[in-house]
Amino acid sequence: MKNPALKPYCRQVMSRDNDVIRFKMERSTLEIDDPDGSIFAFIRLLDGARGVEEIASECRLTAREVEEGLALLDRHRLLACGTADPIGLTEREQIRYKNNLTYFSLYESLNESRFDFQKKLKNATVAVVGLGGGSVIAAWLAAMGVGRIVGVDFDRVELNNLNRQFFYTEDDVGEYKTIALQRRLHALNRDVKVEVHQRRIESAQSLVDIAAEADMMVSAIDTPPLMGSRYVNAACLHRRIPSYYLSIGNRLGFYFRVLPYESGCTDCRVLHIMRTDPVTAGRIRRQVAGAAADADTGNPGFAPNVAVMTALVASDIAKQLTGYSAISDMPFGLVPFHDMDISRRSIPRYSDCPSCGRSADPGTDEWVEPVALERLLEVAEEAAPLSGERENR
């Protein structure tokens, strides 16, 4: 172990009074009982100039006791990484991502440095399907340094997109979104590799080649309704990569994370709705039957709401890619736009889900496409397991 050091930030927020050491963070305070001042004296020696043996000698402790104390402080992320090494990041990247590195330093530990987190972003590939609201997610990814971004869309930029898809400009109107966004992302961060595919998504098979080269995929498509996200889900289950889903309505938005064969998938979510939410279930049945009103109610996307929702997805992606902080065990986030009071909930992984349950067969190359929506609704009507039932693989 290299010479241990308390993080400079932690040294600034540390105090001791009434026999208690306090680390007053932004929204919490860590307190350590220290009646005789010995722990405070120990912590003050953690300046990077002394090794374990020297600290043990000055504090009259054994090396084992010093290591146990360091392990306790490290669990609270108070110690700087002793092996921090920027190799793998160019000098330009170290300057460009200086604020990222400052942020990550709050989460580094003795064994994982701020540079390690940034390098994980650099080495990652994220595919974004649907470059409407997805264009904003792609921009967040490029800004924070995801090394390879793959964009998929078939549409052109329209003037009425610009109220919310603000990484396009009026000069882009009429151009394919793939080409316009690729140009904009290169202008934003030329160190990031941006690939685009001009492709209409009409099956899971049309995404399998992209999923095969990605670490995760984001679905921001609304066409075809219901099926678009199911195609993404099926392709990602097939390739066993995490996926994210985004939807923005009039008053509510939601985002949803799927970890293949660990958490509930998009078909599990449909089953859950059909079994627990009669109002929404009725709307889905009417839509599948073709009885829903065929009216153009417009797109309710409003720039501040789009910015909030896409930023929440991008933040969760960063945690998933780097592990700098734990992701929530409740992967479904619901955001009411009138007060932005985010709530989270779980989506059970149903054992009778045709896509990820016990009957799913992800082991063959031929298995890709999701079952028909009509069949999924039939499954929902059949005898259902308890909502919390999951099947582990």
Residue 85: give the domain boundaries. 81-115
**pLDDT over 90 for what percent of the chain?**
84
358 and 281 housed in the same domain:
yes
Q: What angle do CA 264, 266, 269 make, to 5 degrees?
A: 70
Secondary structure element (H or E) that encloses residue 286, with its range = helix 278-289
What's 45's domain CATH number? 1.10.10
202 and 290 housed in the same domain:
yes
188 and 334 housed in the same domain:
yes
Hey, how many other C-beta atoms are within 10 angstroms of the C-beta on 216?
22
164 and 311 housed in the same domain:
yes
299 and 247 housed in the same domain:
yes
Specify the amino acid at residue 220: A
141 and 227 housed in the same domain:
yes
191 and 159 housed in the same domain:
yes
88 and 236 housed in the same domain:
no
Whether 174 is covered by a domain: the verdict is yes
391, pLDDT greater than 50: no
Rg (the chain; Cα; Å) = 25
- In the chain, how many domains are there? 3
What per-residue confidence (pLDDT) applies to 32?
A: 95
Secondary structure element (H or E) that encloses residue 234, with its range = helix 227-239
Whether 393 is covered by a domain: the verdict is no
Whether 20 is covered by a domain: the verdict is yes
Average pLDDT over residues 365-386: 81
Distance CA 359, CA 246 (A): 27
66 and 155 housed in the same domain:
no
61 and 207 housed in the same domain:
no
Distance CA 383, CA 1 (A): 57
Instruction: List the single range of 60-74, 130-144, 285-299, 327-341 with lowest mean pLDDT.
Output: 285-299
| Mean pLDDT, the chain, whole residue set | 92
pLDDT-based confidence at residue 29 (cuts at 50, 70, 90): very high
**pLDDT over 70 for what percent of the chain?**
93
What per-residue confidence (pLDDT) applies to 100?
A: 98
Whether 129 is covered by a domain: the verdict is yes
216 and 147 housed in the same domain:
yes
325 and 252 housed in the same domain:
yes
Distance CA 242, CA 213 (A): 13
189, pLDDT greater than 90: yes
Distance CA 7, CA 10 (A): 5
What's 158's domain CATH number? 3.40.50.720
What per-residue confidence (pLDDT) applies to 83?
A: 83
Closest CA to 242 of 216, 223, 266, 265: 216
- Model confidence pLDDT, tens digit, residues 104-144: 999 999 999 999 999 999 999 999 999 999 999 999 999 99
pTM: 0.91
pLDDT-based confidence at residue 236 (cuts at 50, 70, 90): very high
Parallel/antiparallel/unpaired status of strands 193-198 and 216-219: unpaired
Whether 3 is covered by a domain: the verdict is no
- Higher local confidence (pLDDT), 55 or 387: 55
pLDDT-based confidence at residue 146 (cuts at 50, 70, 90): very high
Burial class (CB in 10 A: 0-12, 13-18, 19+), 295: exposed
What per-residue confidence (pLDDT) applies to 384?
A: 54
Whether 146 is covered by a domain: the verdict is yes
Whether 266 is covered by a domain: the verdict is yes
Whether 386 is covered by a domain: the verdict is no
Distance CA 25, CA 71 (A): 20
